Amino acid sequence: MGIRFLHRTLKNPTVLASGILGNSKDILERVHEAGCGLVTLKSIGPEPRDGHNNPTVIDLGCGLINAVGLPSPGYLNMENEWAELEHRDFPIIASIYGGSVDEYRRVAEYVSSKKPDFIEINISCPNSEQHGMIFGINRDSSRAVVSAVKKAISVPLIVKLTPQAPDIADIARTCEDAGADAICAINTVGPGMVIDIESKRPVLAFKKGGLSGPMIKPIAVRCVFDIYKAVSIPVIGLGGITTGEDAIEMVMAGAELVGIGTAVRYRGIEVFQKIADEMEAWLSQRNLTLADIKGAAHKEGE
């Protein structure tokens, strides 16, 4: 199931979602060896940041709620990681965030010099008061970030969007116009809150957190469906994908690649190969290829 994505050939369409398993080479390499076509690093920010206190990640049964809070060593404190990643034999997406257009640009420029295969800008994280999501719900701020970053980097640019945008397709179109080479959708949903009724307190230290996993899949599928209609650049579809059938559904909505995050909780790191195999089996049983089914849910009356 080798697949072409922008300038690269990937061994299959599965992508490790940002924020899952961090950004050290050893573990990312293991994810790659466990069957992942393209790995995304945890979002890298402008300054060292501890993120929130625990509890930060809770399993709700049909998915997770998390408010990790964008912990990051800060883009200038990752020389070890970059040095090790230089000698990799697998493709990576470096994810970044900032608190202003200029911070996005600065981080992106530096990270670009480290030659990741792609840069993804996270304009969609709900778990920090200062960072991220604000940009992705508004057309003007999305445009400003994307064009500034695009000018500063020499690798293809992916923009990661939030389902909290009142019209995600419109934001995607704006990003495409501003120079995005691909869209990644979606980041976590909500935010939500879980209150422990015995202690009468929100369980997460940050109180609110983003939802991921099976419960958000219908929202992710709808977003990818809407975005696919609106843009002509490829879409990485993610949100709740746990099985090969989920991945096929996302491709039918219009995804080129399928991102996987929370499913690592439910099926282990092996989930990448499992999903790739399940997709392949499903397709070959029906004599279909990925290209045949991409965006198939958009076709009427066949």
Partner 1 sequence: MMTKPVMDQKPLMLRVTENKREAPDYATLFFDHSLAFRPGQFVMVWIPGLDEKPYTISHHGPHRFGITIEAKGVFSRKAIALTKGDLVGIRGPFGNGFDIQFSQRSAVVAGGCGMAPLATLVEQLPGDTTLIHGARSKDAILFPDRFALAREICTDDGSLGHKGLVTDLLERRITDGGSLDMVYACGPEIMMYKVFQLCETHGIPCQVSLERYMRCGFGVCGACVCGKQVVCKDGPVFGSEALREMKDFNKKALLKSGREVDLSLYFSWRCR
Write down the least CB distance from residue 296 to partner 1, Å: 12
| Residue 268 DSSP symbol | -
Q: Judged by CB under 8 A, does residue 293 bind partner 1? A: no
Task: Find where tokens 């080129």 sit.
Answer: 256
- Is the Cβ of residue 175 or residue 263 nearer to ligand FMN in the bound state? 263
Q: Judged by CB under 6 A, does residue 261 bind ligand FMN? A: yes
Size of the site for partner 1 (CB under 8 A): 58
Angle at 54 between CA 259 and CA 185, to 5 degrees: 20
Among 21, 238, 255, 276, binds ligand FMN (CB under 6 A): 238
Among 15, 137, 161, 258, binds a copy of itself (CB under 8 A): 137
Among 12, 112, 164, 262, binds ligand FMN (CB under 6 A): 262
Amino acid at 104: Y
Q: Judged by CB under 6 A, does residue 17 bind ligand FMN? A: yes
> Measuring CA to CA, which residue among 232, 223, 133 is closest to residue 173?
232
Neighbour count for residue 167 (Cβ, 10 Å): 13
Neighbour count for residue 71 (Cβ, 10 Å): 17
Does residue 218 have a cis peptide bond before it, meaning omega lies within 30 degrees of 0? no
* Pairwise CA distance, residues 70 & 210, whole Å: 12
125 is catalytic: yes
The phi-psi region of residue 22 (left if phi > 0; otherwise alpha if psi is between -120 and 50; otherwise beta) is left
* Pairwise CA distance, residues 292 & 45, whole Å: 39
8 A C-beta contact, residue 142 and residue 202: no
Q: Judged by CB under 6 A, does residue 188 bind ligand FMN? A: yes
Cβ partners under 8 Å of residue 156, min gap 6: 6, 7, 117, 118, 119, 181, 182
Write down the least CB distance from residue 35 to partner 1, Å: 15
Touching partner 1, residues 106-145 (CB under 8 A): none
Contact range with ligand FMN by CB under 6 A, out of 29-37, 195-203, 211-219, 245-253: 211-219
Which residues sit at the interface with partner 1, rule CB under 8 A? 19-24, 26-27, 29-30, 42, 48-51, 53-62, 64, 66, 68, 71-74, 77-78, 80-81, 194, 196, 198-199, 201, 203, 205, 214, 242-243, 245, 261-262, 264-269, 278, 300-301
Which residues sit at the interface with a copy of itself, rule CB under 8 A? 60-63, 65, 137, 164, 166, 189-195, 197, 200-202, 207-208, 211, 214-215, 217-219, 221-222, 225, 245, 248-249, 252-253, 282, 293, 296-297, 299, 302
> What residues are annotated to the active site?
125
